[in-house]
DNA sequence: TCAAAAGTGTTTCCCATACACCCATGC
DNA sequence: GCATGGGTGTATGGGAAACACTTTTGA
């Protein structure tokens, strides 16, 4: 009985190896939704104009192939983010993995989508290898869905390459849901080591897409962050138009 | 200028294709955390004993290779779930994608993890091709982490194959976070077309790992589900030990 | 009539919201 | 002074939690 089982297992090993090699391996890419806030506190996204087929001349979110065996998928995303914006060490979180056949006309491509939150002044945008252009677009909503606008161009979500409209929507939804119980908002601050309560409030307002009451926002901020030590009071103020605002520093966990 | 740019683009195209083909493509698997509740309302997970290397004779969550080009990743997960438990058409949601080099000693393997919630009586467990055995284990917590127990075996989380302990932890955490604002709990009911408030409450108690107040649970249930039409009152009762309980039916969205 | 589980009603407390008002600065 | 934005204090309402109590069944 035992020896038969062994034989059977070795047989299975052979079959398994055979099967594995028979499966066509998919290409894996990481695509990144890079979000920031502009000077008027509007939500912006970095889009690139594709220089190559498929979807040549269409706008897309940046992405690139995983160098399997040489890097983790997190590293691939970080590398792609750096190549497009010249920044590391920012908020970069995995979002979802898209793998419907046909989402890329070339071949089966599995795309692991990431979301990056970046202060605008840190962005040093440059078109990557396969991109003709790279620009920030404001995100607005209309009956047709999302409209991406910059000074020269208006793009409807339907005009984006691949299934990137779907990816972007998921990123915004996720961000909106996470902001109430995660520290995501701090990653959009101009300087998370020196910021005012109003600056943080404006970020919440943009992401939640509604205005907030400053006195109440202050109270919850002091209770949830300052008293718990996750943010410290710098005991100095910033000159501004009205009364100087107190400055705070976010403590990375 | 323009013609030069074209030339440059074609050159780039060549380089891009060259690079893509140079990248080793990773294998992609789907691994599934299959959760259910046993007769004593304890959380159970389906583990398989691996019949082949790597991690031969170690316990793992079920999984299998994606047949790229023939199926989406969602379909691969559903196929794997059916092959192991003989069920389709249950709650099956993507969890996270794991892609650290070295997580599989054979080669670079990207694993898209899924979570399935299944009523126990629907399970028809059978060991798949590469498994020697397949069994349900109760999930308990200890100082060392999670302990998996069934009548014959006790497994520490550190003894699991691959990074499956990490995947399971993420599944439980996600479930616990989602249960307050998603309908996940209904998928663990013995019969979501005919259940009592107490049955549902017991599921919440197991997942949240604390006891709940029945009168208050009833109030929120009636407000959030029955008055909104997401659950309908069947206007009949079930015989039981004490006062017969009213029966409800969950409306799939 | 008693145990067990379902179901009802009430009280309390916390916390989000609303909003009136004061403070410090530049011009 | 006055406009502007920062900062403080208080009142109110709704909902979650705690819990006392009633109802309906089986044995």
Would the CA dihedral through B192, A170, A182, A110 be positive or negative?
Answer: positive
Number of inter-chain CB pairs under 8 A, A vs B? 115
Entry field: residues in chain A: 253
Q: Which of B66, B98, B68 is nearest to B80 (CA)?
A: B66
The pLDDT, as a whole number, for residue A16 is 46
**Separation CA B49–CA B30 (nearest Å):** 17
| Tens digits of residue pLDDT in A67-125 | 988 899 999 999 999 999 999 999 999 999 999 988 888 788 999 999 999 999 999 88
Q: What is the pTM of this model?
A: 0.89
- Mean pLDDT in consecutive groups of 10 residues from the start of chain B, 253 residues: 36 43 78 96 96 91 91 95 92 96 85 97 82 91 94 95 97 95 96 97 96 97 96 91 95 92
Q: Which among B65, B68, B129 has the least Cβ separation from residue A108?
A: B68
Residues in chain B with CB shorter than 8 Å from the CB of A49 are none
Alpha carbon separation from B85 to A97, B32, B81, B150 (Å, rounded): 24, 11, 6, 18
- How would residue A5 be classed by pLDDT, with cut points 50, 70 and 90? very low
| Tens digits of residue pLDDT in A204-250 | 999 999 999 999 999 999 999 999 999 999 999 988 789 999 999 99
The beta strands (E) that lie in A151-242 are given as 154-156, 231-238
The pLDDT, as a whole number, for residue B23 is 60
DSSP assigned state of A248? E
Q: Flag if B130 and A16 touch (Cβ within 8 Å).
A: yes
Rg (CA), chain B: 23
> In chain C, which nucleotides are within 7 Å of a protein Cβ?
3-10, 16-20, 23-26
- Token pair, residue B148, equals 């998996």
Q: Flag if B72 and A100 touch (Cβ within 8 Å).
A: yes
The pLDDT, as a whole number, for residue B6 is 36
Q: Which among B20, B52, B68 has the least Cβ separation from residue A16?
A: B52
CB proximity B13 to A under 8 Å: yes
Residues in chain B with CB shorter than 8 Å from the CB of A96 are 94
CA distance B96 to chain A (A): 7
Q: Which among A20, A71, A72 has the least Cβ separation from residue B65?
A: A20
**Separation CA A74–CA A244 (nearest Å):** 41
CB atoms within 10 A of CB B198: 13
The pLDDT, as a whole number, for residue A185 is 97
Q: Which helix (H) or strand (E) holds A83?
A: helix A73-85
CB B32 within 8 A of CB B82: no
Q: Is pLDDT larger for residue A64 or for residue B3?
A: A64
Mean pLDDT, residues A183-207: 97
**Separation CA A153–CA A91 (nearest Å):** 28
């Amino acid at each position: 009985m035992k020896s038969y089982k062994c034989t059977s297992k070795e047989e299975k090993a052979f079959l398994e190896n055979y099967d594995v090699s028979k499966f066509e391996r998919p290409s894996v890419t990481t695509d990144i939704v890079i979000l920031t806030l502009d000077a008027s506190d509007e939500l912006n996204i970095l889009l690139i104009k594709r220089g190559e087929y498929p979807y040549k001349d269409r706008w897309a979110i940046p992405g690139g192939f995983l160098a399997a065996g040489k890097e983790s998928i997190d590293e691939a995303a970080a590398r792609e983010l750096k190549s497009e914006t010249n920044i590391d060490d920012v908020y970069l979180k995995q979002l979802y993995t898209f793998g419907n056949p046909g989402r890329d006309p070339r071949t089966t491509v599995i795309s692991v989508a990431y979301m990056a939150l970046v202060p605008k002044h840190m962005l040093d945008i440059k078109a990557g290898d396969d991109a003709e252009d790279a620009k920030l677009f404001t995100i607005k909503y209309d009956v047709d869905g999302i409209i991406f606008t910059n000074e020269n161009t208006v793009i409807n979500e339907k005009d984006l390459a691949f299934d990137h409209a779907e990816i972007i929507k998921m990123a915004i939804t996720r961000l909106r849901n996470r902001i109430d119980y995660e520290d995501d908002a701090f990653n959009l601050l101009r300087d998370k080591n020196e910021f005012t309560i109003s600056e943080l409030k404006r970020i919440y307002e943009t992401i939640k897409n509604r205005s907030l009451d400053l006195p109440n926002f202050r109270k919850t901020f002091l209770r949830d962050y300052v008293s718990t030590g996750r943010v410290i009071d710098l005991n100095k103020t910033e000159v501004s138009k009205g009364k100087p605002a107190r400055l705070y520093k976010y403590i990375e966990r």
